[in-house]
Structure 1
Amino acid sequence: MKATLKTKYDADKSGAASTLAVNAGDVKLRASITDATIINGPSLNGLALSVEKPGFFIVDYNVPKKDLRFQFMNTVKVAEKPLNLTYIHSWADSRTILDGTLVFDSANKVSANHALGSGNCKLKYTYVHEGATTFEPSYDVAKNSWDFAVSRKVYGDDVFKATYQTTSKVLGLEWTRNLKSSGNFKVVASVNMADESKRPKVTAESTWNFEV
């Protein structure tokens, strides 16, 4: 079987998290822990379990909160174009989210995200230029605001991404390196342009693939 180990460190919160995923036939079993799980002895704090069948469903269980989260995926054809649909429901707060992505071609797609009962809808357009640069403007209907993201592949396996949120004036920078079969690592930094007193937030994440 193949397994994946993901670790994440948040410098702002001085915390770390790890996720172990194992492929078992058609499904993937995943367990996630945080530093709260092992500090002062093993506990259920920060422990989450999930079962996933890629492209069909994901069931997440937050152990300390006793909260279930269901996610179902399907694809239908609209004017001969694939429409990817996702239904997400959180048991504890009875929140349901609908997400849809209409793929026009390999370079263009439109996405919509709506939380039922909230009156809010987020729209996003994705354009990939020459397979290397991706532009993603998005619009939040409730906030009447735009967010922007630009990413570009460099040196073959590296991706640099910049994001900007107009309402919060937060600028984000992200660097991801694909280590091919062994995994990848990612560094994310964000800074609040409206408040210079706030220090930048930095997180680092690494993913390793191995045989078990």
Structure 2
Amino acid sequence: MMKASFKAKFEPEKAATAATVAVNAGDFKLRASITDATVVNGPSLNGLALAVEKPGFFIIDYNVPKNDLRFQFMNTIRVAEKPLNLTYIHSKGDERTILDGSLVIDSANKVSVNHMFGTANTKFKYTYLHGGLTTFEPIYDLGKNTWDFALSRRVFGDDVFRATYQTSSKNLGLEWSRSSKINGSVKISASVNLAEERKLPKLCAETTWDFEM
């Protein structure tokens, strides 16, 4: 089976589009992605990316114009009978390696840690799902010694409202998203920096359509 998706992103300063085609090849998925930079001013390799994925095990991404490889390996182990999901990511181009782990305590509680090797960039996140509809996520950045907060609420089944606040940058974000298998997904977001004198919001709208062929 072949699946395709088309994504459009609109901002007051610019607009961008992207398309992805995925093909199932046994236990593997093959993907090719392009952006508007690939076709503007004639076909080119700009914005072209290729990927091989074995769901739940690994993803290998290749950025064609940058000649850059990105490896991602996933595994799940049991800790005190609880699933610990581990993800190892290495980008060859910038020699950046990240280890991400999330321990699922129960259906409402999850603890996550994200660490970039060779740096003090370590983040701890606690996720609490209340009543199956409201999610609260405090995030502590060890390197910056700062807190970030996120609060989301699912309404009307397909709609999600989300608010975020970054204490280090004093950036406040609001987002509304809707996901539907029939009509695709749409997301509208606004962010404002409370530290700036002119608190002008930055607006962004995204929409994605998925197709099966």
Pairing 1:145-164 to 2, within 5 Å after superposition = 145-164=146-165
1:87 aligns with 2:79: no
Query: What residue identity is the alignment partner of 2:152?
Result: S
Query: What residue identity is the alignment partner of 1:49?
Result: L
1:38 aligns with 2:39: yes
Q: From the superposition, tell whether residues 49 and 85 of structure 1 become closer, same or farther in structure 2 (CA, over 3 Å).
A: same
Query: What residue identity is the alignment partner of 1:163?
Result: T
Structure 2 portions without partners, runs of 5+: none
Q: Deviations over 1:19-54 (max 9, x none)?
A: 313241433332222222222111111222222222
Structure 1 portions without partners, runs of 5+: none
Q: Deviations over 1:117-158 (max 9, x none)?
A: 112210000000000000000000010000000000001110
Structure 2 SS opposite 1:104 = strand
Q: Which residue of 2 aligns with 1:184?
A: 185
Identity of aligned residues (%): 66
Moved more, 6-15 or 90-99: 6-15
Moved more, 17-26 or 86-95: 17-26
Query: What residue identity is the alignment partner of 1:38?
Result: V
Q: From the superposition, tell whether residues 201 and 54 of structure 1 become closer, same or farther in structure 2 (CA, over 3 Å).
A: farther
1:140 aligns with 2:141: yes
Q: Which residue of 2 aligns with 1:205?
A: 206
- Aligned partners of 1:111 and 1:123 also within 8 Å: yes
Q: Which residue of 2 aligns with 1:55?
A: 56
C-alpha distance in structure 1 between counterparts of 2:2 and 2:173, whole Å: 33
Give the structure-2-normalised TM-score: 0.93
Q: Deviations over 1:150-203 (max 9, x none)?
A: 000001110111111111111111111121345322122211111143642222
Give the structure-1-normalised TM-score: 0.93
Q: Deviations over 1:41-82 (max 9, x none)?
A: 111112222222221111111111100000000000000000
Number of residues of Structure 1 aligned to a counterpart in Structure 2: 212
Moved more, 23-32 or 39-48: 23-32
